[in-house]
């Protein structure tokens, strides 16, 4: 499973990328706001750090305007993925942009039917939101599994990009189900390395090492 980092924080992206933990980046208007930077400027900087797909989201609601914004965003770098919402206008924009050879990430997916439409429209990625479904007492992971089954049934090439990842368990389960990609905030990716038994074992090793009175350096 590919790891995308869901942030516009350049320092966090650079740190994770140096460790080989970043296969791509996803951004959205909320993350751009949090960064406090110009969307074109920060997206260009991110594309210079990461060689994989970098999702930059359109902000218009009409198809023609989405297409115009998408074409402008696509000029930032060859690895830009234009991100459009899963609305009827978003699907129209997806079709035009994908037919023109641009990667497209269709976001805010909450049903299998929506995922089917995105695949038919030529989406490169479909972004089902796991955590937001969990928030309203629906099973976000079940949606990932259902999309996986249906895409495999018909050999759709659209990649499942599990989004709204809130916990390390979400990551593990998405990998088990067979999501092609997951995108998560930097803090969730860092937490994947944590385990209480690792901490306890290391503490015991350090305690015993101190008793030896030895040094390596």
Catalytic residues: 83
Upper half-sphere CA count for residue 40 (Cβ side, 13 Å): 8
Q: Which two tokens stand for residue 57?
A: 């989201």
Instruction: Round to whole Å and give the CA distance between 194 and 176.
Output: 19
Question: Cα-Cα-Cα-Cα dihedral of 82, 34, 25, 103, to 10°?
Answer: 0
Phi–psi pair at 181, nearest 5 degrees? -145, 150
Q: Cα separations (Å) of 194 from 56, 188, 189, 202, 211?
A: 31, 10, 10, 12, 26
**Which residue, chain included where needed, has tokens 């206008």?**
89
Judge contact between 175 and 165, C-beta under 8 A: no
Instruction: Round to whole Å and give the CA distance between 175 and 177.
Output: 5
Is 33 exposed, middle or buried, given 0-12, 13-18 or 19+ CB atoms closer than 10 A?
A: exposed
**Which residue, chain included where needed, has tokens 């400027």?**
41
């Amino acid at each position: 499973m590919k790891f995308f980092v869901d942030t516009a924080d350049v320092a966090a992206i650079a740190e994770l990328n140096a460790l080989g933990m970043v296969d791509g980046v996803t951004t959205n208007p909320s993350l751009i706001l949090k960064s406090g930077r110009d969307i074109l400027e920060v997206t260009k900087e991110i594309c210079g750090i990461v060689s994989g797909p970098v999702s930059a989201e359109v902000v218009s609601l009409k198809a023609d305007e989405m297409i115009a914004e998408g074409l402008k965003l696509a000029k930032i770098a060859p690895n830009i993925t234009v991100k459009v919402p899963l609305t009827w206008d978003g699907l129209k924009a997806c079709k035009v942009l994908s037919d023109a050879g641009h990667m497209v990430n269709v976001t805010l997916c909450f049903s299998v039917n929506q995922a089917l439409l995105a695949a038919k429209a030529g989406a490169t990625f479909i972004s089902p939101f796991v955590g937001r479904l969990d928030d309203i007492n629906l099973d976000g992971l079940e949606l990932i599994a259902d999309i996986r089954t249906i895409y495999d049934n018909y050999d759709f090439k659209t990649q499942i990009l599990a989004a709204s990842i809130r916990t390390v368990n979400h990551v593990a389960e998405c990998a088990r189900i067979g999501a092609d990609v997951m995108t998560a905030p930097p803090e969730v990716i860092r937490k994947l390395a944590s385990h209480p038994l690792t901490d306890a074992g290391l503490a015991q090793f350090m305690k015993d090492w101190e008793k030896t009175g030895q040094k390596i350096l």
